[in-house]
């Protein structure tokens, strides 16, 4: 097995597996989540239907595209909601005082968190998102994308997962210094919900809000993959959006490494 | 009445405890304000683009939202910590409540007070004032009275739902996940007029999880949105509140009797 500075794929896979078993224990909470996801899809679909009834041409896309966008937003949120990010694990370990055990493991800390998180997301995707999307396809007339869009969507979604991971990871690192991220997370969740286009598409944002949302990384998480899915970008436009995501992945990757080094040096001094 | 006196005492202690953390109070209120600003702006952007939602315009929707904020702040400040019951039961600390000669419910409800509700209250009042200046409705004394009663009963319905949710962990030990989901669902429901969600949904939030009685039905009555069909249950909010509290108290009593402590 290849080993680069504590990044070991087999160890990563093992963490993913254990996370998988961890999650599959809680059956009741799984069914509750399923019902919840379903209700949310149903209700956002109706909100758009009511809005379109008054003014069908306000967003520039037709109703079935808009409903697909909204349903997808609900589905992706149940995987990528910040509450499921690595920061909740990190802050819990910080509070228990056992975070050193995680840092001292002979595996790169960021990679370890990523593997854990990826396992968590894979389980939720397979058992929660996929079934509810299939149900949505039959019940809410979810649109299927063409081959090019589907390929673009999958690439874009993987990049979105990375952007989301890096942002959450940095929030967790902050938690190591501030010891409490409850209130910061609230603010972060709210800003994310607003500027990511998860509920309301960014292209209908008026004036300055639209400009601001374009400059922030949050739209890489929901707006770009979802817009590609419903066919809002094609050809060169799609590649351009993917390039924006890649740039953010690189920037946030570097930033999170730097932040990790800084935080660890502080934590080591504190620990003594 | 001894219980009420004790509840006052508990609250005084809780407030004194909270006063220790002034910075936390401010950050909490600010984050609630941001959260509400985001919710309202999203609705605002939608209505800005589409003009109306069903037959509700932007001010009607703001009325609906402010109404909910008023209910929610009352509920949140005094009983937002009902979900702590799970932790009390899992950790075994609930046993301590049972051996004290005070009703366990009074102890649970009086153990904390949540300042973040103050942010909701602020949003509710500001929103309501804004709507009042824009719509300039002319209410008689009766409507004002009904408004006051409905804010109170809306809060009580939410208390009852969460009280039932929390009591479930006497049976299941874990209930936070379910309450969390019910909460997020309620948040979505209260932002939009219920009638846009179709008939089945309306039945669901009227009969099974009666969140429509928190702010939707009172707003329908107060804003004169009643259709020609006579729907008597629009006026039922106070009744539903009493009923729900009754059910909640019954479930709670059953649960406490059943409680045998965690472990062993």
Report CA A270 to chain centroid distance, whole Å.
32
Residues of A with a Cβ under 8 Å from any B Cβ are: 26, 28-29, 32-33, 35-36, 39-40, 42-43, 46-47, 49-55, 58-59, 183, 186-187, 190-191, 193-194, 199-200, 204-206, 209
**pLDDT computed for residue B84 by the predictor:** 83
Contact B72, B120 (CB under 8 A): yes
Residue B173 forms contact with A (CB below 8 Å) = no
Mean pLDDT along residues B130-155: 89
The Cα A263–Cα A257 span in angstroms is: 10
Least confidently predicted of A162-171, B175-184, B222-231? B222-231
Residues B88-114 have pLDDT tens digits of 888 888 888 888 888 888 888 888 888
Q: Do B185 and A46 lie within an 8 Å CB cutoff?
A: no
Determine how many CB atoms are found less than 10 A away from the CB of residue A83.
Answer: 10
The Cα A152–Cα A95 span in angstroms is: 41
Least confidently predicted of A16-25, A54-63, B56-65, B170-179? A16-25
Task: Walk along chain A (272 residues) and give the pLDDT tens digit of each residue.
Answer: 344 555 667 777 787 777 777 766 666 777 778 888 888 888 888 888 888 887 888 788 888 889 999 999 998 888 888 777 888 888 888 878 788 788 877 788 888 888 888 888 887 888 788 888 888 888 877 888 888 889 999 999 999 999 999 999 999 888 888 777 777 788 888 889 899 988 889 988 888 888 999 899 999 999 999 999 988 887 888 899 999 999 999 999 999 999 999 988 887 666 54
The Cα B161–Cα B167 span in angstroms is: 10
Sign of CA dihedral B5, B11, B14, B16: negative
**pLDDT computed for residue A221 by the predictor:** 93
Q: Which residues of A are less than 8 Å from B53 in CB distance?
A: 47, 50-51, 54
Checking if the pLDDT of B149 tops 90, the result is yes
**pLDDT computed for residue B203 by the predictor:** 87
Structure tokens at A185: 């997370």
**pLDDT computed for residue A91 by the predictor:** 83
Which one-letter DSSP state was computed for residue B53? B
Structure tokens at B76: 């949140």
Mean pLDDT along residues B168-194: 81
Name the average pLDDT for chain B: 84
Q: Do A54 and B198 lie within an 8 Å CB cutoff?
A: no
Q: Do B201 and A29 lie within an 8 Å CB cutoff?
A: no
**pLDDT computed for residue B264 by the predictor:** 46
Q: Do A47 and B189 lie within an 8 Å CB cutoff?
A: no
**pLDDT computed for residue A26 by the predictor:** 67
The values of phi and psi at residue A180, to 5°, are -150, 125
**pLDDT computed for residue B261 by the predictor:** 62
Q: Which residues of B are less than 8 Å from A59 in CB distance?
A: 49
The Cα B255–Cα B164 span in angstroms is: 10
Question: Which residue reads 């972060």 in tokens?
Answer: A188
User: Based on the number of CB atoms within 10 Å of its own CB, is A179 exposed (0-12), middle (13-18) or buried (19 or more)?
Assistant: exposed
Report CA B18 to chain centroid distance, whole Å.
22
- The complex's ipTM works out to 0.79
Mean pLDDT along residues B137-157: 90
Task: Give me the torsion for CA of A178, A180, A184, A189, rounded to 10°.
Answer: 130
pTM of the model: 0.83
Q: How far is A176 from chain B (nearest CA, A)?
A: 18
Residue B50 forms contact with A (CB below 8 Å) = yes
- In this prediction, residue B242 has a pLDDT band, given cuts at 50, 70 and 90, of very high
Contact B122, B33 (CB under 8 A): yes
What CA–CA distances, in Å, run from A3 to A12, A119, A256, B255? 11, 20, 21, 55
Q: Do A55 and B50 lie within an 8 Å CB cutoff?
A: yes
Choose among A183, A186, A200: nearest Cβ to B45.
A200
Residue B185 forms contact with A (CB below 8 Å) = yes
């Amino acid at each position: 097995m290849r080993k680069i500075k504590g990044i070991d794929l087999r160890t990563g896979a093992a963490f993913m597996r254990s996370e998988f078993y961890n999650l599959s224990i809680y059956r009741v909470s799984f069914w509750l989540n399923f019902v919840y996801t379903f209700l949310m899809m149903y209700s956002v679909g109706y909100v758009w239907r009511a809005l379109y009834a008054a003014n069908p041409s306000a967003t520039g896309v037709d109703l079935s595209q808009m409903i697909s966008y909204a349903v997808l937003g609900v589905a992706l949120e149940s995987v990528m909601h910040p509450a499921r990010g690595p920061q909740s694990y990190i802050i819990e370990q910080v509070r228990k005082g056992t975070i050193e055990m995680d840092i001292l493991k002979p595996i790169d800390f960021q990679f370890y968190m990523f593997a854990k998180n990826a396992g968590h997301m894979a389980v939720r995707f397979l058992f929660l998102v996929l079934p509810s999307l299939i149900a949505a396809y039959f019940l809410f007339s979810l649109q299927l994308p063409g081959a090019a869009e589907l390929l673009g969507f999958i690439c874009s979604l993987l990049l979105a997962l990375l952007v989301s991971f890096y942002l959450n990871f940095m929030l967790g690192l902050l938690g190591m210094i501030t010891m409490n991220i409850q209130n910061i997370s609230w603010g972060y969740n709210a800003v994310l919900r607003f500027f990511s286009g998860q509920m309301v598409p960014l292209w209908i944002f008026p004036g300055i809000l639209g400009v601001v949302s374009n400059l922030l990384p949050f739209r890489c998480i929901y707006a770009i993959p979802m817009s590609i899915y419903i066919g809002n970008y094609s050809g060169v436009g799609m590649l351009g959006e993917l390039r924006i995501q890649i740039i953010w992945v690189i920037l946030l990757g570097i930033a999170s490494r730097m932040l990790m080094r800084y935080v660890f040096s502080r934590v080591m001094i504190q620990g003594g | 009445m001894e219980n009420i006196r004790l509840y006052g005492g508990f609250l005084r202690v809780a407030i004194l405890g909270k006063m220790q953390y002034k910075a936390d109070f401010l950050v909490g209120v600010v984050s609630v304000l941001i959260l509400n600003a985001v919710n309202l702006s999203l609705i605002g952007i939608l209505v800005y683009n589409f003009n109306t939602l069903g037959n509700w315009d932007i001010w009607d929707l703001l009325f609906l939202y402010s109404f909910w904020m008023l209910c929610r702040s009352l509920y949140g400040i005094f009983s937002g910590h009902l979900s702590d019951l799970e932790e009390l039961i899992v950790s075994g600390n609930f046993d301590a409540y049972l051996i004290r000669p005070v009703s366990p419910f009074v102890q649970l409800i009086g153990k904390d007070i949540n300042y973040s509700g103050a942010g909701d209250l602020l949003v509710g009042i500001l929103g309501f004032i804004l709507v009042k200046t824009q719509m300039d409705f002319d209410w008689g004394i009766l409507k004002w009275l009904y408004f006051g009663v409905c804010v109170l009963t809306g809060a009580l319905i939410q208390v009852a739902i969460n009280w039932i949710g929390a009591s479930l962990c006497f049976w299941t030990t874990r209930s936070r996940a379910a309450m969390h989901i019910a909460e997020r669902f309620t948040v979505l429901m209260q932002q939009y007029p219920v009638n846009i969600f179709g008939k089945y949904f309306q039945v669901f939030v009227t009969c099974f999880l009666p969140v429509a009685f928190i702010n939707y039905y009172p707003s329908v009555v107060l804003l004169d949105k009643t259709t020609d069909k006579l729907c008597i249950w629009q006026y039922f909010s106070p009744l539903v509140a009493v009923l729900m509290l009754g059910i909640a108290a019954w479930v709670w009593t059953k649960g406490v009797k059943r409680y045998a402590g965690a472990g062993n």
